[in-house]
Structure 1
Amino acid sequence: MPNGQPQHIVRSYEDDLKRLRELIARMGGLAERQVADSAEALIRRDTDLAAEVVQRDAQLDEMEREIEQFCVRLLALRQPVASDLRLIVACMKISQDLERIGDYARNGAKRAIVVAQQPGLGSLNGFERMAELVQENLRDAIDALVEDDAAKADAVWANDAPIDGIYNGIFRELLTFMMEDPRNITAATHLLFIAKNMERIGDHATNIAERVHYAVVGQPLVEERPKADVSASAVVRPPGE
């Protein structure tokens, strides 16, 4: 066998792995844009932008299929082991997380269209801040994969609690609005679902960070994820009690 052929095979394999990271980075960028535009559509009451978010969701679905097929081909043809195997499996799972993030952004955009047709209900600053934190975690999680940076992934994993804290504040505030005036129920209910969608996007960003940690280090994160979600047991009392 000519001396150059094994090097060519190895180089081709490295190119495949590089392309896989690039596909995930591209899908991550699209998911982040969907989250940002969904939040902006809500805050600005921009129904046209919300409709664009809904329409663009199909791109994420297509990218998930493309990445899955690429990963399956790599597994079949390259028979990877050790860190390469972990990377490929992680990328397949991360593409699923990103697809779900897209679904949550789409659902938020659909509800933003309904909210825009209702009277304004309090401040949306919490939603804006929550969206910023979610996007930051998502961006850092994808960067951690591209850079093989377990420390950056671990930082994302540890940074989910502030998102939960904002969600809990929104949850209580909206329940109070509903109790004060039944006419607020429609808008507040949709806003509750949007906030929950955003919180779930944060969870998926954390899932990605966990997958990156395992792909790089070869060991799962064994600590319990920091959470601040106590909304299920929150008690909201009417004003004056």
Structure 2
Amino acid sequence: MAAEHTVKAYDEELDRMNNAILEMGGIVEQQLAASIASLARRDDELASRVITDDRRVDALEAEIDQLAVRILALRQPVAVDLRVITASLKIASDLERMGDYAANVAKRSIAIQEIDPIRLTHAISRMAGIAQGMIKDVLDSFRDRDVERAMAVWRRDEDVDESYNSLFRELLTYMMEDPRRITPCAHLLFIARTSSGSAIMRPTSPRP
């Protein structure tokens, strides 16, 4: 009975860590979508909520770190379980960074509320949509232990890079044509770079 109880407690700890990863990922997905929406709608209240939500992401990362340390110290996992735990630590770190990116986009959105909007905001929205889909798919691949799906997400990062490069050239043209556009375009360049960075999550689904 004692051995059975130990195994059950171990499984519950792994489940808690997996669930925390998925919860964290869900918040980051929402943060990214909301930060871009706040830019498009010029909605500083929505942007402020994105910044506030970053605290939840930080708290979940701390919880995952604590769970991982506890499992490593008490359970001494090997093979697949060890890979799951180390992958979880990396994913949590990546998600925390993405949450920071989304919060930074929201801050930039607030900063440019008083500036005349530029139509390329829509291009940023499309690029962020690709990044958001990649985050969802890579988290699903982690949940389902689907390595092929994770690799497919990794390959899609090229689409984001191409979108960023195209947008970069357009914004530079805008700035050269009219120096008054330099400030808003500089903000949008930062946001575009941040949105493209949000898509960078290496495939971390552990092989069964």
Same fold (TM over 0.5): yes
Q: Looking at both structures, which has the greater relative contact order when contacts are Cα pairs under 8 Å and sequence separation is at least 6?
A: 2
- Paired amino acid for 1:47: D
| Aligned-residue offset at 1:52 | 1.1
CA–CA distance in structure 2, aligned partners of residues 100 and 34 of structure 1: 12
Residue in 2 that maps onto 1:143: 140
Q: Secondary structure, in 3 states, of the residue corresponding to 1:159?
A: helix
3-state SS of 1:160 partner? helix
Residue from 32, 37, 48 that aligns with 2:34: 37
Cα deviation for residue 40 of structure 1 reads 0.5
Shift of 1:125: 2.0
Counterpart of 1:216 in structure 2 is 207
1:132-155 CA distance string (max 9 Å, x none):
111111011111111111111111
In structure 1, runs of 5+ residues without a counterpart are: 218-241
Letter in 1 for 2:116: P
The separation in 2 between residues aligned to 1:6 and 1:110, in whole angstroms, is 51
Conservation of the 8 A alpha-carbon contact between 1:118 and 1:187: yes
Instruction: Give the 3-state SS of the residue equivalent to 2:198 in structure 1.
Output: helix
Structure 1 position 7, deviation (Å):
2.1
Distance in 1 (CA, whole Å) between partners of 2:119 and 2:5 is 62
TM-score w.r.t. structure 1 length? 0.84
Q: Which amino acid aligns with 2:207?
A: V
1:196-231 Cα offsets, whole Å, 9 max, x none, are 00111111x3x2x2x22xx226xxxxxxxxxxxxxx
Overall identity of the aligned pairs, in %? 44
1:101 aligns with 2:101: no
User: TM-score, normalised on structure 2?
Assistant: 0.96
Q: Residues of 2 paired with 1:112 and 1:169: CA distance?
A: 21
Distance in 1 (CA, whole Å) between partners of 2:119 and 2:33 is 21
Residue 122 (structure 1) shift: 2.5
**Equivalent residue of 1:116, what SS?**
coil
Q: Is the 8 A contact 2:51 2:103 kept in 1?
A: yes
Would you say the 8 A contact 1:115–1:191 is kept in 2?
no
Q: Which residue of 2 aligns with 1:52?
A: 49
Matched residue type, 1:216: R
Pick aligned residue for 1:86 from 72, 80, 83: 83
Which structure's CA Rg is the greater one? 1
Measured in 2, the distance between the counterparts of 1:9 and 1:122 equals 59
**TM superposition outliers: structure 1 runs of 4+ over 4 Å:** none
Q: 1:59 Cα shift?
A: 1.1
- Within 5 Å, which residues of 2 pair with 1:101-180? 101-180=98-177
Match of 1:183? 180
RMSD: 1.1
- How many residues are matched? 208
- Amino acid of the residue matched to residue 186 of structure 1? T
Alpha-carbon offset, residue 182 of structure 1: 0.7
Say which is worse superposed, 173-182 or 124-133, in terms of deviation.
Answer: 124-133
User: Which segments of 5 or more consecutive residues in structure 2 lack a partner in the other structure?
Assistant: none
